[in-house]
């Protein structure tokens, strides 16, 4: 989409992999096993989004919806200090970057659907304060559906309907307000014949050598616009993370490597 802007994730090599950053007006999913860096990318995104476009940001505040407790507030603080020290002369330093991140914990998919009208109000009225909201993070979407649903047809129907309401609501907001929307997702073991694999290129190796694919199956896969897959490879104490773009209508398949340090993500 020509009219979509990009937001830096604060790591040049990942940005390059993403052709300049994460696009606005669509839903980007970050998928990977536990500890692969999904939350770290999201935390860094909501900080980098506050930078001006000349520095790859969106001059924007963010809404961070978390579904797993506790929210890593100390890590966010640590990353914000690191960002401030690398952009000392910027507006960012005039007040606390954490004041431009709205945190909201939710516990179920229904809870999320009920929250959508409030999110829209928040997007409209937050504008009058500091920077408008330009980013919504949902970390993680998988947790909202964990063990809540059985496998009978009724539950699958109810589940798909919730996928549709959540992603439809987020897409509408993304387009209307020019937002970057990032959702994180877990992986499940690849099983031959698994419905989420049938639409192709979805299975990847994780650190233990298992073949895995994104959780929530094909009906959720159809709800997101692009998907970034994270995996890790531990050599000594240095953990190298690999990100590959599984599908993105606007980009070719590509991959990059990064590490996570105290100061954030580095290529």
Residues in touch with ligand ATP (CB under 6 A) = 32, 34-40, 75, 78, 186, 239, 260-262
Residue 57 vs residues 10, 71, 135, 242: alpha-carbon distances, Å: 9, 23, 11, 23
Residue nearest to Mg ion (CB): 39
CB of 116 to ligand ATP, least distance (A): 24
Q: Does 40 bind Mg ion (CB under 5 A)?
A: no
- Least distance between ligand ATP and beta carbon 70 (Å): 12
C-alpha 54/C-alpha 42 separation (Å) is 21
28 binds, among Mg ion, ligand ATP, none (CB under 5 to 8 A by kind): none
Q: Residue 97, CB half-sphere, CA atoms under 13 Å: how many?
A: 28
Is residue 26 at the binding interface for Mg ion, with CB under 5 A as the rule? no
Q: Identify which of residues 6 and 38 has a Cβ nearer to ligand ATP in the complex.
A: 38
Rounded to a whole number of angstroms, the minimum distance from the CB of residue 72 to ligand ATP is 7
Residue 20 interface partner, choices ligand ATP, Mg ion, none, CB cut-off 5-8 Å depending on type: none
SS (H, E, C) 39-97: HHHHHHHHHHCCCCHHHCCCCCEEEEEECCCCCCHHHHHHHHHHHHHHCCCCHHHHCCH
Residue 246: in which H helix or E strand, if any?
Answer: strand 238-247
39 binds Mg ion (CB under 5 A): yes
Binding interface with Mg ion (CB under 5 A):
38-39
């Amino acid at each position: 989409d020509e009219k979509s802007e990009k937001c830096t994730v604060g790591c040049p090599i990942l940005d390059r992999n993403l052709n300049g950053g994460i696009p606005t007006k669509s839903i980007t999913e970050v998928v990977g096993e536990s500890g692969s860096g999904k939350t770290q990318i999201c935390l860094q995104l909501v900080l980098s989004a506050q930078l001006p476009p000349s520095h790859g940001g969106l001059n924007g505040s963010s809404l961070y919806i978390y579904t797993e407790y506790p929210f890593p507030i100390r890590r966010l603080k640590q990353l914000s200090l690191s960002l401030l020290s690398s952009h000392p002369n910027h507006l960012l330093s005039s007040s606390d970057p954490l004041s431009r991140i709205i945190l909201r914990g939710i516990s179920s998919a229904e809870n999320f659907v009920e929250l959508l009208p409030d999110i829209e109000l928040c997007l409209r009225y937050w504008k009058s304060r500091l920077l408008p909201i330009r980013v919504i993070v949902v970390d993680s979407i998988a947790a909202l559906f964990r063990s809540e649903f059985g496998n009978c047809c009724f539950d699958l129907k109810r589940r798909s309907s919730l996928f549709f309401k959540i992603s439809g609501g987020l897409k509408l907001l993304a387009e209307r307000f020019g937002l970057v929307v990032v959702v994180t997702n877990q992986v499940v073991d690849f099983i031959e014949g698994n419905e989420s694999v049938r639409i192709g290129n979805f299975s990847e190796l994780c650190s233990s050598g298992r073949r895995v694919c994104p959780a929530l199956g094909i009906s959720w896969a159809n709800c997101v616009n692009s998907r970034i897959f994270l995996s890790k490879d531990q050599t000594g104490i240095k953990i190298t993370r690999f990100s590959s773009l599984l599908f993105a209508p606007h980009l070719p398949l590509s991959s990059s490597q990064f590490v996570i340090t105290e100061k954030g993500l580095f290529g």
